Amino acid sequence: MPALPLNQHELADAAKLKQLFIEWQHARRSQGLPASQETAANQMEFGQSALNQYLNGKIPLNIDVAIKFSRLLGVPISAFSAALASQADEYAAAKDAMAMARARDNDLRIVGRRITIDAQQDEHIPIKKVSLTLRAGVMGFEASQEDQSETTIDLPRRFIEENDLVPQCLLAISVKGDSMWPLMIEGDVVVINIADTKPINNELYAVNFDGEAVVKRLVREGREWYLTSMNPDPAYHRRACRGGECIIVGRVVRQEARKLMNRV
């Protein structure tokens, strides 16, 4: 018996998935990594023919397949199927967040080791200070070094070790705007962990929100996540964080001490 044709919603989901897959291929190729359908099929542990049929709307997606695509592409299921995302329970959502971190590890080739305390090691570890160039796709950002006169900041070695952090996964960025006042103001420096993108209620994250780099507090209400500001000004209202328009770049793990001169 021939398979039934997909409905309009299923075809739309397949089209979104195919576009995300193409972006994933471009990102992989730009890093010199294999990006063929055969490579993707092997990673997802099903045949290349099935992969091609899912991407071209010949057979319908299901939860298990959607989770595998989510892991491969490093995006939440909601980025390509709202219907399947609504069926996923909290356990599946947690797996999606972990998969995004694993995909980032692979794409960035981050190979780091945990730092241990040793008397002969330096007391501080240099961390790159960068500006974020945001883009669509798997990673959601590219990091470019700032002016050569100020390219790193030093973090206490003990802080890194005690918090089980990998220096290669840490980036320092400057805060823009006053939406997080009084906690943060324009020009303050925060350190983000790009290996930690699992959303946690009331924690601070650097986020690619609709192409804009923002540092916000992530708040969960029901099944929805929201980006919230600290500034009580009504202009800084909260915004829903969902789909491809809201990509977590990394969790804020430290705020550097600020100078108080000329600020009061």
pLDDT band for 226, please (50, 70, 90 cuts).
Answer: very high
pLDDT for the residue 135: 45
Q: Could you write out the DSSP letters of every residue in 58-89?
A: SS---HHHHHHHHHHHTS-GGGT-HHHHHH--
Residue range 124-255 forms a domain whose CATH class is mainly beta
Highest-pLDDT range among 135-144, 149-158, 203-212: 203-212
Reported in sequence order, the residue ranges of 4-158 that DSSP labels E, i.e. its strands, are 124-128, 130-134, 141-145, 152-156
142 token code pair? 């590219």
Q: Is-above-0.75 flag for pTM?
A: no
Calculate ∠ Cα 185-188-189, nearest 5°. Answer: 150
pLDDT for the residue 254: 94
pLDDT band for 138, please (50, 70, 90 cuts).
Answer: very low
Domain with CATH 2.10.109.10 in the chain: 124-255
The CATH number assigned to the domain with range 8-108 reads: 1.10.260.40
pLDDT for the residue 73: 92
Calculate ∠ Cα 26-94-20, nearest 5°. Answer: 20
pLDDT digits (tens, 9 = 90+) for 214-225: 899 999 998 899
pLDDT digits (tens, 9 = 90+) for 96-121: 445 555 555 544 443 333 434 444 45
Q: Give me the sign of the Cα torsion angle 224, 72, 109, 145.
A: negative
pLDDT for the residue 201: 95
Domain with CATH 1.10.260.40 in the chain: 8-108
pLDDT digits (tens, 9 = 90+) for 22-79: 999 998 888 888 889 999 999 888 888 999 999 999 999 988 888 889 989 998 888 9
